[in-house]
Structure 1
């Protein structure tokens, strides 16, 4: 049985837009979900957002199945998979400003 949260039930609209765009591989919608100058880290290391998203999401078929949300939808635990690394359990913490994702921090959960 699949207990994943449907994207439409994610509580934070900016996070919902981010996950929906990621899962549909829609670069335009993904960029629209981000605030200007958005930043990110992966396993505690600052990364170049454009390079990381191209490598880990768009050129490798990234997909996120959300298991749970907390902190009003700003913290997710998800099974993340792509063609490079396979599937792993990950945590995602989002900072939203002006209705857009200004920062996200991801890493293994």
Structure 2
């Protein structure tokens, strides 16, 4: 059974997932710290290019199945128009209430 986004433990991660699922680019950018970085399947990616392609332009959506590490690690069903649906793991580094780095990949 999925976890309701509003019940995710970490406020920054919760804001990240809410903005992603709402396709709200401004709210998404607001939760990221300046200079935030990311990886996809272990490879460093350009955050702006990746999020445009994998989230916003392809209607990405995350349904969280479980969380760990005080809400900073998620396992979720992620789907978008490009790749369909897959089980993914997301790990977040947060400082000052902002996501400074996230890593995602298949779970």
TM-score, normalised via structure 1 length: 0.98
Aligned-residue CA RMSD (Å): 0.3
What secondary structure, in the 3-state scheme, does the structure 1 residue paired with 2:3 have?
coil
Q: How does 1:1-109 map to 2 (within 5 A)?
A: 3-109=1-107
Segments of structure 2 that go 5 or more residues without pairing to the other structure are none
Give the superposition deviation at 1:10: 0.4
Give the whole-Å Cα distance in 2 for the aligned partners of 1:106 and 1:54.
Answer: 15
Q: Deviations over 1:7-40 (max 9, x none)?
A: 0110000000000000000000000010010000
Moved over 3 A (4+): none
Q: Deviations over 1:40-97 (max 9, x none)?
A: 0000000000000000000000000000000000000000000000000000000001
Number of equivalences: 107
TM-score, normalised via structure 2 length: 1.00
Give the whole-Å Cα distance in 1 for the aligned partners of 2:67 and 2:7.
Answer: 10
